[in-house]
Amino acid sequence: MIATAPRYAELQAPAHWRVVDFISDLHLQASEPQTVQAWKDYLTHTQADAVFLLGDIFEVWVGDDGLAGDDEDARFERECIDALRAAGERRALHIMHGNRDFLLGAEAARRARCTLLDDPTVLVFGNRRWLLSHGDALCLDDRDYMDFRAQVRTPSWQQSFLAQPLAQRRQIARGLRQQSEERKRSGADYADVDTPLARQWLQQAQATELIHGHTHQPADHALGEDLRRRVLSDWDLLARPPRAEVLRLQQTGNEVSVRRLPLDQAR
């Protein structure tokens, strides 16, 4: 599969930002209250000036109109939006779409006091350029998913899907989630980020570091020529050991440090 670097947006960090946090792949769902509560606690207590949520914050999102429902899914979604709104009153929140919540729209973002980010986006912070992405568009070897992604990201597909009754959309989402769980249980390998494409994205964006999620394989990768990609952790408080990590940029003077923090230190 041939892919080229996309056009990227650019965000200049305000001068007063000193601490910036990145999280992704929480896959929030009512059936996993421990992870939801840990996320709420983090949003309440972090000392970050800005938090970037780089996709798959929700296990599934079938449209902003779901917030108006009176079923369990709607109540859970409103609970999460309320948590974001409370945090957004204290610090800047930015959300990027993932492969599970790409239908989260402008109305939900407005209610949550969050800014939606294009994928990819360059963050200019500490006199450096940081390239932000969910990461799924870089996994070229997952051909089935790339074909699916190309289909569902089109305006025509989304308009057709959102025109269906909410209950039907939720049923479709449950089916897709079940397929995903069955694939996990089968032990199927998941494609990783394509290194040449990651380098191409960084070079086109004139950035040296790529920060992304999606793969659930937190690590730092040297890409040569002083280029690097940093992979965010997924969150699962029921895993043994529990998984939940924050990537933090902190500016002190003219220097920016990069640290991976467990939740109890991300405050």
Q: Which one is the CATH code of 9-265: 3.40.50.2300, 3.40.50.300, 2.40.160.40, 3.60.21.10?
A: 3.60.21.10
Give the integer Cα–Cα distance in Å for 209 and 3.
20
Sign of CA dihedral 254, 229, 258, 213: positive
Task: Decide the pairing of beta strands 121-125 and 219-224.
Answer: unpaired
Q: Which amino acid is at 88?
A: G
Determine the pLDDT at residue 187. Answer: 59
| C-alpha to C-alpha distances, 15 to 18, 72, 127, 205, 244, nearest whole angstrom | 8, 42, 11, 21, 29
pLDDT, one tens digit per residue, over 45-77 is: 999 999 999 999 999 999 999 999 899 999 999
Helix intervals (H) in the chain: 33-45, 72-88, 106-111, 143-152, 155-162, 166-185, 195-205
Give the integer Cα–Cα distance in Å for 207 and 234.
24
pLDDT, one tens digit per residue, over 116-148 is: 999 999 999 999 999 999 999 999 999 999 999
- Read off the pTM: 0.95
The residue written with tokens 């902190």 in the block is 250
Determine the pLDDT at residue 180. Answer: 73
Q: Give the chain's residues under pLDDT 50.
A: 1-2
Domain residue extents for the chain: 9-265
Residue 84 · residue 112 · CB < 8 Å: yes
